[in-house]
Amino acid sequence: MVVPDGAGPGRVQVLFAAAGAARAVVAGIRRRPPGGSAVWERRNHAGRPVDLYAGPAAVLGTALAAATAPGLPPRVRRAAGLAVLAAGACGAYDDVVGRNDARRGVRAHLSALRRGEITSGAVQLLGTGAAGLAAGVLLGRRPVDALLAGAVVAGSAHVVDLLDVRPGRAAKAVLAAGAPALLRGGAPGALCAAPMGAAAALLADDLDERSMLGDAGAHALGAGLGVAVAASAGRGGLVLATALLLAAAAAGDRVGDGPAWLDRPVLRVWDALGRRPAPVSVYSRGATPARVTGGRRV
């Protein structure tokens, strides 16, 4: 454990700092999109046009709040800021360079590497892993623990990214995963408050299909959660977290975004949380439209 359990009392301050910074970034980019609005436009899973403004907002909101969290040792704040910024930068690279690459998951990109092809996804995976390892070193962990901490940070980033295939799914997962630590308080709560605040601030735009996190935002939020675990868990906890993240990543790679994944009732319920139900026309239910005659509906 790098930080004592009672450290980091300002979790509410961190939560609001991340949320405020994320909304400010969205407003700034929306006013004047760097490179023009076309650079930021994408099509979501349903083919609807969305923007990527939530991505840099999640990166900068989480990094700023984590790097300035009160009551935490400087090395922990530096590690959190580095991990979030680096993971977000790797994700942004994949958002731009790999926008037309349909390959997802670790296995697809590692297979391409074995064939001598360096994909943008491979750069993202390796870069996020290096960022996690650097964060583990900055946290002052022993070599073995630093490796485990790096795996936790990179694994968290990857798993959140795997979830980002439906509106709000990844952001809600970040809020759910960080809530126990936030309620408990201490250093883990303060560190979890950064990605949670950014996710909460961007959730409405994500659910309404106006904006999406993209690889940049998903990786940044996941890395922020990973640092919270890496900074507070002992070796046993790091081993357990690494095993769980590897299992989640393997499951995500196996089922991908196909029918086997989407048909699970628990995910359909999860995806519907917070979303407005789509309006249903009476014609779609086979009903006969009412005819108005003489002021009466017949």
Please report the pLDDT score of residue 141 as a whole number.
83
User: Distance between CA 230 and CA 39 in Å, rounded?
Assistant: 35
Helix (H) or strand (E) holding 293: strand 292-293
Pairing of strands 292-293, 41-43: unpaired
pTM of the predicted protein model:
0.84
Specify if 267 maps to a domain.
no
Specify if 183 maps to a domain.
yes
- Count how many domains the chain has: 1
Q: At what angle do helices 120-138 and 214-232 cross, to 10 degrees?
A: 30
Retrieve residue 253's tokens.
């790679």
Please report the pLDDT score of residue 171 as a whole number.
94
Which residues, listed in sequence order, are joined to residue 51 by a DSSP beta bridge?
41, 211
User: Distance between CA 190 and CA 228 in Å, rounded?
Assistant: 8
Contacts of 163 (CB under 8 A, 6+ apart): 169, 170, 173, 218, 252
Specify if 279 maps to a domain.
no
Specify if 288 maps to a domain.
no
Task: Look up the domain containing 59 and give its range.
Answer: 11-258
Give how far Cα 30 sits from Cα of 3, 54, 175, Å: 38, 10, 25
Specify if 121 maps to a domain.
yes
Specify if 91 maps to a domain.
yes
Sequence length of the chain is 298
Please report the pLDDT score of residue 47 as a whole number.
77
> Which residues in the chain come in under a pLDDT of 70?
1-9, 100-110, 112-113, 253-264, 267-268, 270-272, 275-298
Specify if 209 maps to a domain.
yes
Specify if 6 maps to a domain.
no
Q: What is the DSSP letter of 170?
A: H
The percentage of residues in the chain with a pLDDT greater than 70, rounded to a whole number, is 78
Give how far Cα 151 sits from Cα of 88, 135, 156, 191, Å: 16, 10, 8, 18
Please report the pLDDT score of residue 121 as a whole number.
76
- What b/e string do you get for 53-82 counting C-beta neighbours within 10 Å, with b at 16 or more? bbbbbbbbbbbbbbbbbebbbebbbbbbbb
Retrieve residue 63's tokens.
């990094």
